[in-house]
Each structure stands twice: as C-alpha cells, then as structure tokens.
Chain A
C-alpha cells in the first residue's frame, strides 16, 4: 500500500537573519523543490521564517536513546570546563 507514498522530509526554518535553522516538523513531498514549496505553505503562513532547509528523513542519523548515559554522562564530572571552577581573588572583577 505504501510503495507510492511520497518520501518524508524534515523541515528546518530560520526565523530571522542571525538565528540558526530550527527543526519545526516534517512533511511529505516527491522531491526537494516540492518539499520547500510545501514547507513554505505549511510552516510559514505568518512570517515564521526567512529561510527553509529540507532534509529527506531517511538521510538523518541520530544516536540511540539507550546510549544516552555513555554519551552524555561523562560531561557531568568535568566541572573544570566551567569558569566557576577556578578560584580567583575578589579584587579581580569581571574575568
């Protein structure tokens, strides 16, 4: 039944100049041009964006949710990566 379904695309929109593109949702389209045109109609009817990226969903790779700890846990004990770890004299303002 689904062999004719148009592929799924992820849509990213830059809300205004100076901001990065942000994921807003997805849609179906036969090709990238149609995906951009559809994204314009579906996700920017009220000036929500000035630039659109579309990526075919099956070209997007992500980490496994169950790797969460292995990937992100080690960062929690590396407090020396934060400025407050370093003890400096009070007189030294604004460093």
Chain B
C-alpha cells in the first residue's frame, strides 16, 4: 500500500489535528506560514512606532502607564510570533534581514502618521479592533505553535481596544475641540482600518489554499463585514460619524453596506509610498544597527563566563 504524505497531512487538517514543527508538511504550507507569521511579527514590532510617538506626551499618568503597557505588549506579540516562525526553519536574523531590506512586508496601517493624542484612541479602538477580528480565528489555525502564540496574543488584545475606546469616550464627552479631535482621528483611521483585512476575496489568489489548510478560517471580506457591523454601533455611541457616505444598514442582508475601498491607495502604501514607510523602516534599521555593540558585548561576556567555568573544571 502506498502512503501518500500529502493525504495523511490533509487528513489531519480535516480532522482538526494540529500540525507540529517536526511533522511532515508540504513545502508550500511551510512557506506560506513563514511568510504569514513573520509578516505578522513584523507588524507587531513596527506597530509600536506610531504609538511610541505619544508615550512621552500622554495627557496624564493613567494614560501614560496604559499606553506604555500596550506598546510593551505589542513587543511581546512580536516575540511570540517570531519564535513560532522559527519553528518552521527560518532564523530570527533572516527574518530581521528581510524586514530591514524591505523584502518582507508588514501591515500597511502602520505607515500612517499619528498626528494628535486622539489617534491613540482611534488606533486602540479601530486598529486593535480590526486586529482582534483577524486574530481570534487564528487561535484555531492548523499550525500548533502559531495557534498557541495567538491564544496569548488574543488574551492581551482586549485591554488594548478598551483603553483606546475609553480615550475616544473621554474626548467625545469633553470640549467641542476635543470632540473635533476625535472625529478627525476617526476620519483618518477609518479607511486604513477597513483595508487591514486585505484585498477583496476575488482578488486574493492564495486565500482558497489557506482555507483548505485551515491556516485561515474566514475570508477577508467576511472578516471586514463583521468588523464594520460591530464597529458602527460603537461609533454611534460616541456620537461620531464614520466617513463613508454610502454606509447604511441593509435590512435584507442583515449587514451594513459600505462604500468602495480605494485600493489604489492601499497598493501604493504597500508598495512603499505611504506617508511614513521610509521613517518606519529607518527607525527599525537604526535600532538594529545601534544595538549591534550591545549584542556583541553580551555574546563576548557569555563566552568569557563559559571559558571561566571550563578552566575552573580543568583545575579541579
């Protein structure tokens, strides 16, 4: 009887048996996961930059400790995900190198600037909100280490979104100027957040395979619709207006209809021409280069201690 490894693999997936690092897997599955998980990790790491921009200017200590804790969580998310990707055979340095040379992508939302304090509210509410929508189904993704990393991530995300919404609430209940700030932030972050779910389904060539392998469980458009449906009532509660004149409830569908997404803008930002692409990448490359002496010194110190232990053993 001939055993077909690919059939055994697909059989496991169909039966909801997780794939673990040393199990046989198709090369394409491995490559798809490395690309997706490392891009996800890069997004968490680059995603610290727009918010890091406001830590020193938070309006009070309560907001400052919360923002600091959130940004630190994002660093943690990046680290969980990098280590999940490493189990597939790519080294950490290779992943960093792909980010730093522009070969690897990260979520294009982080290429937009954070112009006012209200952006901290809008990001927590919308960007983390959209991320949660994407990430919750990933807790059941077919690759074990990725699924386990996402469980940790999701546990931490809900505080992120709540602190963002709370910022929006304070601004909307404040002075007219503060409410205007909140509306302005929503105006600027709404469409980029909607784009976070990626291209429309008929324009997303790898989706079908990812669904068959249960890397993904819902399509881009399904998740986007879900996000819009839950977010509109939240905007109404704040007394804010979503910047989409075509947005309206569709009784027959049981969903909100919404306007056409400007994919030219999306593709342009992905291609590297967003408002902050160069600045973000430079910040990462500088951090890496400026940290080189620290990495080398730590290595040298560890080596010295190892040698000392060795010579101690020889003497004894």
Residues of A within 8 A of B (CB): 1-2, 4-6, 8, 25-28, 30-31, 34, 41-43, 45-46, 62, 64-65
B91 contacts A30, CB within 8 Å? no
Residues of B within 8 A of A (CB): 20, 22-24, 69, 72-73, 76, 79-80, 83-84, 86, 91-94, 97, 148-149, 152, 156, 295-296, 298-299, 301-302, 305
- Collect the chain A residues with CB atoms within 8 Å of residue B94's CB: 1-2
- Collect the chain B residues with CB atoms within 8 Å of residue A62's CB: 22
- Collect the chain A residues with CB atoms within 8 Å of residue B86's CB: 8, 26
**Which residue in B76, B80, B93, B301 is a CB contact (below 8 Å) of A2?**
B93
B48: shortest Cβ distance to chain A, in Å? Answer: 14
- Collect the chain B residues with CB atoms within 8 Å of residue A2's CB: 91, 93-94
Q: Which of A8, A27, A30, A65 has the most CB of B within 10 A?
A: A30
B83 contacts A45, CB within 8 Å? no
Known contacts A5-B91, A45-B72; A34 and B298 CB within 8 A of each other: yes
A48's nearest neighbour on chain B, judged by CB, is B152
Can you identify 10 A-B contacts, CB atoms within 8 angstroms?
A1-B93, A1-B94, A4-B93, A4-B299, A5-B91, A25-B83, A27-B79, A42-B76, A42-B79, A65-B22
A69: shortest Cβ distance to chain B, in Å? Answer: 12
B92 contacts A31, CB within 8 Å? no
- Collect the chain B residues with CB atoms within 8 Å of residue A31's CB: 298, 301-302, 305
**Which residue in B79, B80, B299 is a CB contact (below 8 Å) of A30?**
B299
A5 contacts B93, CB within 8 Å? yes
Known contacts A27-B83, A42-B79, A62-B22; A4 and B305 CB within 8 A of each other: no
Known contacts A42-B79, A45-B73; A4 and B302 CB within 8 A of each other: no
B299 contacts A6, CB within 8 Å? yes
B296 contacts A4, CB within 8 Å? yes
- Collect the chain B residues with CB atoms within 8 Å of residue A25's CB: 80, 83-84, 148-149, 152
A46–B72 alpha-carbon span in the complex (Å) = 12
- Collect the chain A residues with CB atoms within 8 Å of residue B93's CB: 1-2, 4-5
A2–B95 alpha-carbon span in the complex (Å) = 11
A6 contacts B295, CB within 8 Å? yes
- Collect the chain A residues with CB atoms within 8 Å of residue B20's CB: 65
- Collect the chain A residues with CB atoms within 8 Å of residue B97's CB: 1
Q: Nearest 8 A-B pairs (CB), nearest first?
A: A30-B298, A31-B302, A30-B302, A26-B83, A65-B22, A5-B93, A2-B93, A42-B79
A34–B79 alpha-carbon span in the complex (Å) = 15
B295 contacts A4, CB within 8 Å? yes
- Collect the chain A residues with CB atoms within 8 Å of residue B83's CB: 8, 25-27
A64–B20 alpha-carbon span in the complex (Å) = 12
A2–B299 alpha-carbon span in the complex (Å) = 13
11 other A-B residue contacts (CB within 8 Å) besides A8-B92, A25-B152: A1-B93, A1-B94, A1-B97, A4-B296, A5-B92, A8-B86, A25-B84, A25-B148, A26-B86, A30-B302, A46-B156
- Collect the chain A residues with CB atoms within 8 Å of residue B76's CB: 41-43, 45
B294: shortest Cβ distance to chain A, in Å? Answer: 10
A29's nearest neighbour on chain B, judged by CB, is B298
A29: shortest Cβ distance to chain B, in Å? Answer: 8
A11–B93 alpha-carbon span in the complex (Å) = 20
B92: shortest Cβ distance to chain A, in Å? Answer: 6
A18: shortest Cβ distance to chain B, in Å? Answer: 22
B34: shortest Cβ distance to chain A, in Å? Answer: 16
A71–B288 alpha-carbon span in the complex (Å) = 45
A37: shortest Cβ distance to chain B, in Å? Answer: 11
B54: shortest Cβ distance to chain A, in Å? Answer: 21
